[in-house]
Structure 1
Amino acid sequence: MANAQDLGKHLWKERILLLISNGLEDAALRAQWRALQKEQKELRKRDLVVYVLTDEGSFFLGVDGESEEPEPLDGVGRPERYKDGVVLIGKDGTKKMERPFPVRPKDIFNLIDAMPMRRAEMNKNKQDEP
């Protein structure tokens, strides 16, 4: 994966969405990223950070989908054990989902919203509202 140190900084703070592909020019990868860019508010609400892992290297795409150009990371490229597609890592550092491209953002959000930690976050946010 991306350097474990890079991903470890998100533990207990953010969920990680990995977009895994052979290269940055892959049409399925680009379509997935475009779909996510349209959902910036939803990404932010769920504390999602997005990384792209390719044979060309690892790239950070932003905390809420705002990055137009991927930021290169030091570390390993695409992990061999994962096929091209989307991997969701929870705040606890465990894999929650692995699916081939394309994955509808709504499906990702529904999965996250069903998680106990996210449900607790949503309940806390309701209590914090005036």
Structure 2
Amino acid sequence: MKHILKYVTILTCFFFYSPITMAQDISDFKWKNRVLLLVDTELNSENIKQQIKVFEGLHDAFQERDIIYFIITSKGSYDSDKQLLNLKGLETYYHKDFSGLILLGKDGGIKLKTPFIVTAKTIISLIDSMPMRQSEMNSPRSIKLQ
């Protein structure tokens, strides 16, 4: 019984402490992910809803490009499941009156900063044109076995 409790505790820790929930600062994603910041006044604003709708069906494309997104409002930062985070360092990327999408490259730099709504094609095309992404596409680890 003690062993079962021990394993359940360990599995619970892994389940609740994903890399996103463990991250405390936006810079924790540098060199690991391309980050989309969806910035608006409210978590469930029409702009946020429409932008997230654009992302539907893009799970594989986002995963292949190491894309994650966060929702940023005046009340806080949220992950893609709309769970409240305490993500620091976001204030360097936008002013409080900005509403729109910000794309951060793996180097942490702003690659796109534009009002809502941004098409999936715009995001994917921009990322695929970046030198780091070109290198990723040409690396042996990205070649899929047939």
Fold-level similarity (TM above 0.5):
yes
Aligned pairs for 1:1-130 (under 5 A) are 5-61=24-80, 69-75=81-87, 79=91, 81=95, 83-125=98-140, 128-130=143-145
Kindly indicate whether the alpha-carbon contact (under 8 Å) linking 2:26 and 2:87 is maintained by their aligned counterparts in 1. Answer: no
AA of the residue aligned to 1:96: K
**Distance change >3 Å, CA 23–CA 112, structure 1 → 2:** same
Sequence identity percentage: 33
Which consecutive unaligned segments of at least 5 residues does structure 2 have?
1-22
Kindly indicate whether the alpha-carbon contact (under 8 Å) linking 2:34 and 2:106 is maintained by their aligned counterparts in 1. Answer: yes
Kindly indicate whether the alpha-carbon contact (under 8 Å) linking 2:38 and 2:72 is maintained by their aligned counterparts in 1. Answer: yes
Q: CA RMSD in A?
A: 2.3
CA deviation vs aligned residue, 1:18-69 (integer Å, no higher than 9, x gap): 00000012101111011113211111111001000001210011xxxxxxx3
Task: Provide the secondary structure at the position in 1 that maps to 2:139.
Answer: helix
CA radius of gyration, larger in? 2
Kindly indicate whether the alpha-carbon contact (under 8 Å) linking 2:35 and 2:68 is maintained by their aligned counterparts in 1. Answer: yes
Which consecutive unaligned segments of at least 5 residues does structure 1 have?
62-68
**Alignment TM-score, normalising by the size of structure 1:** 0.82
Instruction: Report the structure, 1 or 2, having the larger strand content.
Output: 1
- Structure 1 runs, 4 residues or longer, greater than 2 Å off: 125-130
